[in-house]
Amino acid sequence: MAAGPEMLAELRRLRTRVPQLTGALVAGVDGLVLAHDTPGVEAEGVAALTATALAVAVRLADTTGQGDFRELLVRGVYGYVATYAAGENAVLTVLAQDRVNVGRLHLESRRSGARVGELVDAAERARAPAPAAPAVTRTRSARASRPTTTEPRTTTES
């Protein structure tokens, strides 16, 4: 799926609302980059690592009875890496300086994750093939004595 301009615009709005963000990216749950605004950071590598961390986080939440994955926060000496669920098919990963207000980071990133999730899920639904129409079979009416077009003609029919 190509990165839509709406997705990239949402990442830029997020970085404006939280000035301590140093990067933001949207990745599919398979680790492929869908959109990124990550100057100085290799987006593909971060997306691949995000997919790996997501798999562990999903399993940990499930094993401990905490329910579906919502978010993951990693704190390092120099800052934070946070990953948020973004609909059914993607995640939002943000990079932040160590002086970020973590409450604000969560608030704004959750909102952006929900918006990005809507965009990604809508694009996935649009790409999915339409369900096949149910097969229509013709049946005999009570007054018709001819066979229908879907039934083979046999010698016993008149």
- Segment 127-136 shows an average pLDDT of 64
CB contact at 8 A, 70 and 82 = no
Give the pLDDT of residue 131: 64
Which residue, among 22, 46, 15, 47, has the nearest Cα to 112 in the 3D structure? 15
Q: What is the pLDDT of residues 44-93, one digit of tens each?
A: 999 999 999 999 999 999 999 999 999 999 999 999 999 999 999 999 99
Asked whether the CA dihedral 98, 102, 104, 110 is positive or negative, the reply is positive
Q: What is the pLDDT of residues 71-80, one digit of tens each?
A: 999 999 999 9
pTM: 0.78
- Segment 35-48 shows an average pLDDT of 95
- Segment 19-24 shows an average pLDDT of 96
Q: Name the DSSP class of 143.
A: S
Q: What is the pLDDT of residues 139-154, one digit of tens each?
A: 454 454 454 445 445 5
Give the pLDDT of residue 44: 96
Give the pLDDT of residue 2: 47
Distance CA(123)–CA(91), nearest Å, equals 15
Give the pLDDT of residue 158: 47
